[in-house]
Amino acid sequence: MSLMKKVLIADKMSIQAEKVFSANGINFDKKIGLSEEEICKIVNEYEAIVVRSATKITKKIIESGNKLKVLGRAGIGVDNIDIEAATNNGIVVMNTPFGNSITTAEHTISLMMSLARNIPQASKSTKEGKWEKSKFMGTELFGKTLGMVGCGNIGSLVVERCLGLKMKVLVYDPFLSKDQTEKIGAKKVELEEILKNSDFITLHTPLTDKTKGILNKNNLSKCKDNVKIINCARGGLVVENDLIELMNQGKISGAALDVFSEEPPTNKKLFNVDNLILTPHLGASTSEAQENVAIQVAQQISDYLNNDIIINSINVSPISPEDAPKIKPFIDLSLKLGKFGGQIIENTISKINITFKGEISSLNTKPLIANVVAGIFSNRMESVNLINAETIAKQKNIEIISSFQTETSIHTSEIHINISTADEEFNYAGIIFANNSRIISIMNMRIECEISPNMLYILNNDKPGFIGSLGSLLGSKNINIANFNLGRTGKGQAVSLLELDQYLDDSIINDLQKLNNIKKVKALKF
């Protein structure tokens, strides 16, 4: 029996992946279109599975693969991989976040030009034997304003190309600093200005609780007349029925969608709008991109299987075998602490200061620092991971400072975090207690609270009756409070952390914001 590692290629991809595996001494089987049951029957033969978007790597598959060490996605998304199940089973999940950036950026430009000159409609008309030259009067891109919602790697490439077309570019991205935005040749603005002043609007942001439906009826109604919308990012960013309604009203003169809330799209209304261009998720569909992501994912898997090198991992930070037993308890804590601050802070971050106190200060804290930064970014950046988090921070001119203190006031080990923006400082700290991640202070107020899946953060004026009114409102909404934790300065300010049985939607948060003495309220998810 061969001792060589073996990989299952479960989706169609470039033959270059096979060549990389062979060059690294790794065997592979190419079996396309297998069902979940069929994969479960053979998965024990493999140390790795590589997919694109078609095959779903489910919890059942993961738990059936006793030899599985790594799952690789040739592309940016990992929606088809059960990351939680993989993590629980000690399996590394990798993707290739930058392999199809150019291709997606170019598709965005293609759709924008198609919108400007009515190319698909004109082509269809001409093929039908018509000569409707006047019907398809277009518009120049020269001198027009492009509004961009989200500006990561793909967005910055779109900016570069639009500047070459002599367009003006406005960018809304809370994680991109003003200096960094100006460096790429764009202007940093708020969403309202994007809506008000853009001739074209393009989306380059992940789908999160905050970005879902960001172009809804309300926001689309605020747009400049005759605006054109392009979405090559994620389905669900644009509310499709709202878009159709405003297009039929003439408010929006055109739109181009490469992604949909359901794929293939089932919303038949989309097919009856003449000035709506639809493409079947072609953002990454070029031979060059397919080769790039195939080569990258195959090399990453090979490096891990042969040398334990972890690159572009979604769920695992690089930790040496020597440090693993000591660091492991703090991996969960550092990530959750990052997510905590990242969900509360909305403004552009300029500095993240992380202080390790006590016994932890003598350990290899590099993976913990990466965890904190990744957690802070994770709420709004799909491609962030424990490997590239600090690189992304550097690109955005965010200063990461780490310091160490051998002594603590109470606990054996503590992690203290201070997040700075232009307008505020937010500090908090956490510990491991009884193998659980806990918050121990917020804004210098002592508070003891386990970090739970669904939480509510409240900063308020310390006045009588507040807790009663809070409890009454949540009770009226049938929201059960699992735990209620309080902290106060003694100077008129208090903080509350509630553990809840469910995540609160925006309507309930809006109602909470109307309570007397509320200064800030945030629904948190971990």
Q: Please provide the distance, in angstroms rounded to a whole number, between the alpha carbons at the two ends of the chain.
A: 44
Residue with tokens 């309300």: 218
Write down the catalytic residue from 52, 234, 380, 438: 234
Give the C-alpha distances (Å, rounded to integers) separating 331 from 369, 482, 498.
10, 25, 23
Angle at 54 between CA 52 and CA 57, to 5 degrees: 80
CA dihedral for 64, 70, 74, 76, sign (positive or negative) = positive
Cβ 169 vs Cβ 162: under 8 Å: yes
Residue with tokens 């669900």: 236
Cβ 317 vs Cβ 386: under 8 Å: yes
Cβ 150 vs Cβ 178: under 8 Å: no
Cβ 421 vs Cβ 347: under 8 Å: yes
Torsion on CA atoms 403, 406, 409, 410, rounded to nearest 10:
110
Torsion on CA atoms 422, 184, 377, 348, rounded to nearest 10:
10
Residues in Cβ contact with 180 at an 8 Å cutoff, skipping those fewer than 6 apart: 395, 396, 397
Q: Is 438 a catalytic residue?
A: no
Report DSSP state, residue 505.
Answer: P
Angle at 395 between CA 82 and CA 376, to 5 degrees: 45
Distance CA 228, CA 116 (A): 8
Give the C-alpha distances (Å, rounded to integers) separating 196 from 145, 223, 255, 301.
11, 5, 17, 46
Write down the catalytic residue from 132, 182, 190, 263: 263
Cβ 400 vs Cβ 354: under 8 Å: yes
Torsion on CA atoms 472, 476, 477, 483, rounded to nearest 10:
40
Phi and psi at 225, nearest 5°, equal -60, 140
Question: Which tokens go with 405?
Answer: 């203190």
Distance CA 391, CA 396 (A): 9
Cβ 70 vs Cβ 48: under 8 Å: yes
For residue 483, list its beta bridge partners. Answer: 499
Write down the catalytic residue from 281, 411, 446, 488: 281
CB atoms within 10 A of CB 515: 16
Q: Is 107 a catalytic residue?
A: no
Q: Is 320 exposed, middle or buried (0-12, 13-18, 19+ CB in 10 A)?
A: exposed
Q: Is 234 a catalytic residue?
A: yes
Q: Which residues are catalytic?
A: 234, 263, 281
